[in-house]
Structure 1
Amino acid sequence: MTDTWQTITRLADRLEDHSTLPREQRVLLQLLKIQEEAGEVAEAVIGAMGQNPRKGYSHTWEDVEAEVCDVIVTGMVALVRMNPDAAAVFARHVERIAERDLSGVTEGTPQ
């Protein structure tokens, strides 16, 4: 299995190689891409619930899962484009969240 962060870094590198914009603008556009992908999650949820009268049931919950994955990947790419040590930054952040939200919670215990 390919290391996830290696794949993310390759994706970020590809985007970097493709753009001639200044770094600050490349990062800003990547951050905006997260919002674009989040909108696709919303569209898929609406479609999975059949709540667009014009389109009906246009998506499945598997489509929603795929769109959520796109948001995650896009966020990871943004982090790499901001900081080449993204994997360590993310790991530290997850540790802080675990300490904040899971301290004193026994594994397997419902919350």
Structure 2
Amino acid sequence: MEHTDHSWETVGRLHAWLHKNSKYPPEQEVLLRVLKLSEEVGEVAQAVIGAKGQNPRKGTTHSWQDVESELCDVIITAMVALRTLTPDAADVFTSHLDRVAGRSLGD
């Protein structure tokens, strides 16, 4: 299966849609998008707890596919937050990823 990555284009479209429908000034949009990350991370934790059946009263309430989906939501939310902060989000991310890889992998 061939994979074409159009992630940042899609993130740009999501950012534009959110911006168009926002009732907040730009500086508040950034703060709210960053805060949204905490909400999404909490949903990952909830899904992991549910997948492990850790709550005896509720039992198994989530699947590992739910965890995957929630992790994707975290990534998308972070990408949109970065795009809200800078129009150069793709370049900022790529540069940072390269620095982390170089530091970690010795590239």
Tell me the equivalent position of 1:109.
none
Quick one: which amino acid aligns to residue 98 of structure 1? A
C-alpha displacement at 1:52, in angstroms?
1.4
Q: Percent identity of the aligned residues?
A: 56
- Higher mean C-alpha deviation, range 35-44 or range 15-24: 15-24
Q: Which of 32, 40, 51 pairs up with 1:48? A: 51
Using the size of structure 1 for normalisation, the TM-score is 0.90
Deviations 1:64-98, CA, capped at 9 Å, x for gaps: 00000000000000000100010000000001001
Aligned length: 104
Query: How large is the RMSD of aligned CA atoms in angstroms?
Result: 1.1
Q: Which aligned pairs between 1:1-111 and structure 2 lie closer than 5 A?
A: 1=4, 3-103=6-106
TM-score w.r.t. structure 2 length? 0.93
- Distance in 2 (alpha carbons) for counterparts of 1:94 and 1:61: 26
Quote the offset at 1:2 in angstroms: 6.0
Q: CA deviation digits over 1:23-51, x for unaligned, max 9?
A: 11111000000110000000000000001
